[in-house]
Amino acid sequence: MDPSNSAPPSARQAVVQTTKAASLGGALLVGITQLPPPYAGWLGSALIGVGIVGIVATQIPAPPQGSKLWPLYRVLNYLGANWGQAINAGMMMRQKK
């Protein structure tokens, strides 16, 4: 989906997206607390790792498509739940205004 061609979400869509994100976070938290101790620790460590990669992905500007760093950027964004792409798309939309 190209962010430059999409219309801003309606208030209802924004509420639905926010509710989905909050409920997913709550479900993960409940899931971690219900797992037996060795597995809960591993899952917690994995979620911390995803958070760290996500934060790193937001600080790296997108390289030009086709460059040698493009595959690495795509992997970082995948592991970081596409936070980097979302930040870069938001920055591009701000610059167009």
Per-residue CA distances from 50 to 2, 45, 68, 80 (Å): 25, 9, 23, 5
Give 9-59 pLDDT, tens digit per residue.
788 887 888 888 778 778 877 877 888 888 888 888 888 888 888 787 778
Is-above-0.85 flag for pTM?
no
Q: Which two tokens stand for residue 86?
A: 């979302």
**Sign of the CA dihedral running 59, 63, 69, 73:** positive
Give 56-96 pLDDT, tens digit per residue.
777 878 788 888 988 887 787 777 767 666 666 766 777 76
Spell out the domain ranges in the chain: 11-96
Structure confidence at residue 62 (pLDDT) = 79
